[in-house]
Chains A and B, each alone.
Chain A
């Protein structure tokens, strides 16, 4: 599966995550804030990677982790 291969590549960048495909958007779902921070820091690289897999874009889910929702 392309999403799994993309997730494995992200893991190689230090981001442990799941990838959910929504249309042509690869949604990156992380369970820790540290992973979200890595995604943010390597944004351009991840976008290019996603495009290489044929996705139109990559998006970071901000509601994937209960910790991100706390006030």
Chain B
């Protein structure tokens, strides 16, 4: 048995012991894999995916989540969340994720109880344990468990296991919420979330694939592209296309990060993690 097969068997065992689960589902790499194993292990009648409908969830990601849930036979519940009404969240402090996840889990944990589901889980993985993730505190406070992290399964392993299962999510870029692009201390507003979503969508229409972020810093948009394609887009003829796309979303100034994409780079800029 390969090391990854052993990991998956441990995950299945963990889920079996839990008997039934509600999964905080986003349609991303991690929660899609977790949901696929849960449906296979427990059956669709003892597995429920729940997705928080929020302005910080890009429309494209929402559509993807629905498609993936349908493809793996995951029953999916869509639940409205109201974190934008919470002034602690909207002020965008460095622990903003705590307030967002508090809101999310305060709706999903009761839903699990109502449906008679024994455990509430999320797709956090072992790599997430090394980053600054205040949202994990909110999850822990409500008894939400993270089996992938608990069993030491990393993002790379989840991608490999997802690929082996034929899950379309295996190569999907990480997709954190749109609010994660707004500099801490700059309030999260519908307008700013919309700017980020439109700018990233416009860049995707240029054919940019893989990890991509447009960091919102007031009137400045800072584009982060994957290292492998960064040099291609820095050529002046092509960088003009980037400028046009991002300015169309309402940013007067556009800069491109010469280090390229780094997950959690705002945490580095604010000195919350080394880097």
Contact of B252 among A40, A57, A63, A71 (CB under 8 A): A63
Q: Which residues of B contact A36 (CB under 8 A)?
A: 234, 236, 239
Q: Do B257 and A40 touch across chains, with their CB atoms under 8 A apart?
A: no
Give Cα A46 to B257, complex, Å. Answer: 11
Q: Which residues of B contact A69 (CB under 8 A)?
A: 240, 243
Total A-B pairs, Cβ < 8 A: 82
Q: Which residues of A contact B247 (CB under 8 A)?
A: 63
Q: Which label, helix, strand, loop or mixed, suits the secondary structure of the B interface?
A: mixed
Q: Indicate whether A33 reaches chain B with its CB closer than 8 angstroms.
A: yes
Interface residues on A, range: 20 to 34
Nearest CB in chain A: distance from B240 CB, A: 6
Tell which of B254, B259, B269 has the most Cβ of chain A within 10 Å.
B259
Contact of B243 among A23, A33, A68 (CB under 8 A): A68
Q: Which label, helix, strand, loop or mixed, suits the secondary structure of the A interface?
A: mixed
Nearest CB in chain A: distance from B250 CB, A: 13
- Residue total for B at the interface (Cβ-Cβ under 8 A): 29
Nearest CB in chain B: distance from A56 CB, A: 5
A18-58: CB near B (< 8 Å → 1, else 0) gives: 00001111011000010011011001001100100000111
Q: Give chain A's interface residues, CB within 8 Å of chain B.
A: 22-25, 27-28, 33, 36-37, 39-40, 43, 46-47, 50, 56-63, 68-71
